[in-house]
Amino acid sequence: MAAHIEPTGIPVLILKEGTQRTVGRDALRTNIMAVRAISEALKSTYGPKGMDKMLVDSLGDITITNDGATILDKMDIQHPAAKMMVQVAKGQDEEVGDGTKTAVILSGELLKFAEDLIDKEIHPTVIVAGYKMAAEEAVKLIDKLARSVSIDDRETLLEVALTSLNSKAIHGARRKFAELAVDAVTKVAEKRGDKWYIDLDTIQIIKKHGGSLLDTTLVEGIILDKEVVHPGMPKRVEKAKIALIDAPLEVEKPEIDAEIRISDPSQMRKFLEEEEEILKSMVDKIAEVGANVVICQKGIDDVAQHFLAKRGILAVRRVK
C-alpha cells in the first residue's frame, strides 16, 4: 500500500522575485501619502500669490512655471497612485483647459479626510459612496448658483477670462490677453440650434521671439510662416484670390527609371524648352482663373517660380 506524501519545501512564486507587495491599511496609507505629497507640492503655486516652480530635468534643462499640468508632466513620478493624479490633471486640462491644480489639491484634501474616516473603522467603499453622493449634491448646487451668459455679454466673458489668468505669469498683460481670448472665441463661435459650439482647433497660437507680451495681436485669418519663393514676387497682396494646390508645380518624374541619350546640343535645347513650356502652361492656367496668390502643398520648380513672378503672383510652397 503506497503512502501519500505531501510535497514540502517547494516555494510557489506568483510575482516576480524581488517584487514588493503591500496590502491592507499599509497599502491605503502609502497611496494616500503619495497623492498628498503631489497635492502639497502644488499648493504653494495656487492662487494669485502662488509661487513659480523651477524644474530641472536629467539633461539639465530648466522649466519655470506655475501651471499644474506642466509641473506634473515634467516631474519624474514613479508611484502608481501619484501617476493617477497626473492623469487627473491632464484630463482636466484637455477637457476644460483650466483648474488642473484645483483638481489635484481637492483630491489630496478628500484623501486626507478619508484617512481620518478609515482610522474610525469606516470601510473605503462606504467612504467612496459618500463622496459620490456629495459630488452629486455639489453639482446640483452649482447648477442652482450658475447663470447663463450671453455671447454678446462681453464684460462677463472678460471677467471669466481674467479669473483664469489670475495665477498665470502674465499679470501685467492680463487685460490684453483676456480681450484677445474673448475676441478669438467669439469670432469662431458657431450656433447650432439653441447652443453655441466652439472648435478650439480653429484658433491657432503662433509664437515669435523678440517681442514683448504686449506685442501679441489677434489676426483674423490664417498665418503661414513661410517665405515667398521668388524675390521678384509681390510682398503684399490686397483682395487676394488664392489658389490652393495639392500637387507640385514641377515636371513629374516617370514612375520607372528612364535614360535619355542626347547626341546633339539642339536636342538638349528642345528638351529644356519642352520642360519650360509644360511649367509655363501650368502658370498660365493659374493666371487664367484670376488667382494672384498660390499656396502649394508641395514643391514649386525654379522655372515655375520665374513665370509666377512675371505674372505678379505671390507663391509659397510646402504648406501643410
Backbone angles phi, psi at 103, to 5 degrees: -60, -45
Q: How many domains does the chain have?
A: 3
* Same domain for 183 and 96: no
**Residue at 2 is within a domain:** no
Strand bridging mode 195-197 / 242-245: unpaired
pLDDT of amino acid 194: 83
Rounded-to-integer distance, Cα 284 and Cα 192, Å: 42
pLDDT of amino acid 267: 72
Phi-psi region of 88 (alpha: psi -120 to 50; beta: other; left: phi over 0): alpha
**Residue at 116 is within a domain:** yes
pLDDT of amino acid 144: 92
* Same domain for 120 and 29: yes
**Residue at 70 is within a domain:** yes
* Same domain for 210 and 231: no
pLDDT of amino acid 169: 65
**Residue at 279 is within a domain:** yes
pLDDT of amino acid 8: 58
3-state secondary structure of 268: helix
3-state secondary structure of 143: helix
* Same domain for 137 and 33: yes
Residues of the chain with pLDDT under 50: none
Domain CATH number, residue 311: 3.50.7.10
Range of the domain at 192: 154-215
Rounded-to-integer distance, Cα 313 and Cα 293, Å: 5
Residue where a domain terminates, one of 102, 126, 145: 145
* Same domain for 308 and 210: no
**Residue at 139 is within a domain:** yes
pLDDT of amino acid 145: 92
Evaluate if pTM is beyond 0.75: no
H or E segment and range at residue 37: helix 24-43
